[in-house]
Each structure stands twice: as structure tokens, then as C-alpha cells.
Amino acid sequence: MRKGKQPVLLTWRDIAALIEATLRAESVKPSQQAKRDAFRKYGVLGTRKDPPLSAIFYRVMLREGVIDRVIKDITGVVNPALLDPHLRAALRVFIELKLFSKGGVRFSNPLEVKNRVAAYISSKAHPYAGTWFWDAVDRLEGYRLEPKNKDEELMFKYLLPPWYIKRMLQLIGSEAEELFKALLRKPLICVRVNILKSGAGEVAEELRREGKDVKVSEVVPTVIKFKGPYNFDRSRLFRDGKIVIQEEAAALASLILNPKPGETVVDLCAAPGGKTEHMAELMRNKGVIYAFDIDKSRVRRMEELLGRAGISIVKIFVEDGRKAPKLIGSSVADKVLVDAPCTSDGTLMKNPDLRWRMHKDEVPKFAQIQYELLKAALKLVKPGGRVLYTTCSLLREECEDVIVRLLSKERGRIRIVGFNGPYDPGFVEGVMRAWPHRHETIGFFYALIEKVPRG
């Protein structure tokens, strides 16, 4: 706690909001949405309590892997995933508050808080679960967290799983330490201006009137950055569809693919729709975009976004993008975007909980899906048309290795269209990477592929 700063006073409802946000974050993605939903339910959203409670929530997400090590120590369970979800969420919140945020928070009525949390857990899980929670929390008194080996030393230092630390060290050597530090920084909020409804100057001025110190991106002139927090639910700019939440590196993707008015475009992994909406803007809402995604909840968010933005040219398919050629035909598209599912490790600054959900065994599975999506994209695109492959991953297996495999299989039938910035070359000729520690944006990979016309 900084000198002179008063501890955050927490009531039972504050703790309940934190526990429910932590619980929801296990199934609702991104975790920001889980937090907003829980905070809205408990009347926290948009109040003076929102910023300090949000900070606590994100610390829980950031330290989750370390906190789970503590849970193992104080409960004896082999894996916290075996615990009831309500109990697990409550323990994660209390360990953060009593072990890591000690001195920075205080309870308005400690005994009431403890009793009501115990009663809440017993009502949701098992009648004796509340007592078990009480005993586990008591064991935190005098507890000291110590690393058991070198892997844990690295995990505690960088708040990252050891396997990921090793992968990045292999990829970029000692520079990886700068990357790890960048992944711990709190990012600026990024919004992109909807050019169909407003201009960057107008939006920037409105944000300044709201008290924000704004910075316009030099890479994507319609992206504006500013320090949070920001209540999008109460934002007129957001409600009117004048701004879209999108990172600079993600917004660049649509500019690279450069869809034109009247073209036919396919987005194979479209939801929640930021890039789909952006491409429709660039097309001036003329032409057609076929948008595929299998996640119904994310598709609903895409529909809401497109409605706010005034976009009418998108035809949505709640289907796996790999099925797109069978559903809409071959050689039908001028442009195809493959913003493929991936580990998303390039977004760890924005999604701190994700670092503990990444598993090395999933990387080859993602790489296979990415390859299959690219194969579908090549069937969809017309000769001479272009496919943009992007991921928000920094792992070579999900980036360059997928492109190398595709080039080997499609030898002579495709070519890589190289980049001249604005970010850095990747590890294969013609591709590009955005790095959090170099470019102050999320990690992102780009490969622009042209389908060679037959001679």
C-alpha cells in the first residue's frame, strides 16, 4: 500500500461481488465481462467502489496460479479444480485479501463477513463446506509462501506458468524478461472510432470533455488510447456506436486485408465481431460479409455490436468456419480473414486469468485447427484473392510454424505478401509480429497470403 493511502473498506456485499466475479470468470470470457456482470448484480458497477474492487479482482486473476498453490498448502487437495466452484472462488478471494493485499484492505465487520461467506458457501455447495472454508482461512494466519523449486521461483516472479516462461526464453532469449514485465503492466484502454458515425477528432474531444487524457494511435489513426477505468455502460459514445472496444494491433488487421465496398468477404472466426464490424466500415456498408462462429454467446455480442454500429451487410452463420466452403461455395470471396482461435497469450495484460488457463498440451490442437481453417480459406477465396491469417499468440507453433506447413503443402499455389512495418518482422520471411514490450500493444501475428491465379 502506498504511503498515506487509506485501506479499502470492504463490506459483505463487496466480498460477495468479488466472489461471484471470480466464480463467473471461470466460464465467462473475457473476465472483464464476468466482473461487470457480477458488479452490476451487487450494485458496484459505476460506483466509487468499482475501481478499488476491480483492482482486487484483477489481482486475484493475475495471481490465480500462485493462489492455487496456497490453496493446496492450506487444504491438502491435490488440485483446487476438485473443490466446489463456490468454495474455490471464495478461497481465492480471501487468500488475495489476507495474504497478498494485507494492509491494503480492511473488513467493515470481519466476523459478519466470515460468517456470511461461510453460510453462502454452505447454501451453494454442502452444509459443512462453510465450516471447511472457515478452517482453511484460519490456516492463513502465520502462513508463508516459499518456492519449492526453480520452476516455482520463476512462476512467483513473473506470474506465468513455467512451461510458458521456458518457451519464450527459447524464442527470444534474454529479451523474454522484458516481455514478462510488459505482460504484468496494466494496459491503456483502446477504442476504435466507427468512421460511419463519427471521426477520431470528434471522439477524442468528447473523451477529453469526460476528463480523459487521450492519445491517438500512430499505427491506426482511428484508435484512441487512454487510462482507465471507463464505464462503457454509461458511455454515450459507446451506446451510440461511435466507438468499438478494440486494440491497436487487432484493428490493424482489417486495414491490412483492405476490403473494398462491394466486395465479398468471409470472416471464419468472427465473434465477438470487432474485426467483422471494422471491415464493414471499410466497405462503407456495401457488399457482403459472411461471418462464421460456433460460440452462441459471442455471436450474440457480435449481433449487439453490429446493431449499435449500424452495420447491415453481415450474414451470420453459427457454424464452424471449416465448413464454410460447403455452405457458401468455393472461389466466392475476394478476401478472407482467419483470425484463428489460439492460446491468446498475447492478450495476457488484458486477460490476466488467461495465463493460468493456458496449457502446453493444447498448443498442437490449436495449431491443427488453425491449419484446417487456412485450408478452408484457400478454398473460399478467388484466384488472385487474399487471405489474412492472424492470431493473438506469441507462440511460434501457432504462428510461423502454421504458415510454413501451409506453404509446404500448397507449394506454388500461394505466395506470402510481405509487410513493410509498422511492427517487426517475424521468424519467417514476409510475416509480421506486434510485441507487448516493443510496441505497447497486445501480442499479434500477421501473415497475408495471396492465392496465385492459374496460368
Count the Cβ atoms, other than its own, within 10 Å of residue 78.
8
392 given a catalytic annotation: yes
The grid coordinates of residue 9 equal: 473498506
Answer for the pair 278, 195: CB distance below 8 angstroms, yes or no.
no
217 Rama sector, left if φ>0, alpha if ψ -120 to 50, beta otherwise: beta
Catalytic position from the list 190, 269, 392, 399? 392
Could you tell me which residues come within 8 angstroms of residue 19 by beta carbon, excluding any fewer than 6 positions away? 86, 89, 90, 93, 117, 120
Angle subtended by helix axes 110-124 and 12-24, to nearest 10: 40
Residue tagged 456485499 (cell numbers): 13
The grid coordinates of residue 296 equal: 452462441
Distance, in Å, from the CA atom of 318 to the CA atom of 327, rounded to the nearest integer, reads 11
**132 phi, psi to nearest 5 deg:** -60, -40
**418 phi, psi to nearest 5 deg:** -70, 165
Residue tagged 468499482 (cell numbers): 50
CA distances from 247 to 23, 130, 137, 444 (A): 26, 42, 39, 10
Distance, in Å, from the CA atom of 52 to the CA atom of 55, rounded to the nearest integer, reads 5
**Catalytic residue numbers, as ranges:** 392
